[in-house]
Amino acid sequence: MVHQLRILQPGQMKKKPSSNMANAESSADSLKFSGKLKEMLALAAFVLVIAIISVVSMDLLLIPLIALAKNEPALFTDIFVIAILCCTAVFIIYRLAMTVLYWIKNGFTVREITASLFSGRLRAFLFFLVAVATVTLCILAIYNLFQFNTSLITDMAG
């Protein structure tokens, strides 16, 4: 198959369609200083409102937790460990149930489901348990750092 090279004259060239990014940049460049200032003030106000909401919501969450950790450290530790274990168990049971239901919908027999669960799924499940254990250790390390920091602050406060 022979391809012919077609030479275009300057009047025959097609213009490339402009992208949305180019339009956005040109509209941003065409704004006057007052328009740019209004946009910057709106963005700054949005960031400030989000920061205030974050601080207030974190204070509402952390103050009761810190008070519980200070007044009842054993209870706080028990609640923390139980919450991690419960969340992990619920996630594992949910994933296992969804997988089995998917296999049942697709017509797998009980023998095929059992074989699949104990072959590849068992390895994946063990890998998941190792990953969860690693994350749990990291969370416990962060928790211990927070607990040490809280006790340090309360000792310094008097």
Q: What is the pLDDT of residues 91-120, one digit of tens each?
A: 989 998 998 899 899 998 888 888 887 887
Task: Read off the pLDDT of each residue in 129-144 and give the average, rounded to a whole number.
Answer: 92
Within a domain: 86:
yes
* 48-68 b/e (C-beta count within 10 Å ≥ 16 → b): eeeeeeeeeeeeeeeeeebee
Q: Are 77 and 117 contained in the same domain?
A: yes
Q: Are 118 and 157 contained in the same domain?
A: yes
Q: Are 80 and 135 contained in the same domain?
A: yes
Highest mean pLDDT among 8-12, 118-122, 135-139, 141-145: 135-139
Cα distance between residue 81 and residue 75, in whole Å:
10
- pTM value? 0.42
Domain boundary among 71, 90, 118: 71
Q: Are 144 and 79 contained in the same domain?
A: yes
Cα distance between residue 118 and residue 79, in whole Å:
33
Q: Are 43 and 93 contained in the same domain?
A: no
Query: Looking at residue 107, what DSSP letter applies?
Result: T
Tally of domains in the chain: 2
Phi, psi of 17 (to 5 degrees): -65, 140
For the cut 90, the answer to whether the pLDDT of residue 11 exceeds it is no
Q: Are 125 and 103 contained in the same domain?
A: yes
Q: Are 90 and 116 contained in the same domain?
A: yes
Q: Are 93 and 104 contained in the same domain?
A: yes
Within a domain: 13:
no
Helices 120-157 + 110-118 axis angle, to 10? 50
Within a domain: 7:
no
Domain boundary among 48, 71, 94: 71
Residue 82: which H helix or E strand, with range? helix 73-105
Which range of residues forms the domain containing residue 152? Answer: 73-158
**Per-residue pLDDT tens over the stretch 24-79:** 555 556 668 888 888 899 999 999 999 999 888 888 888 888 888 888 889 988 99
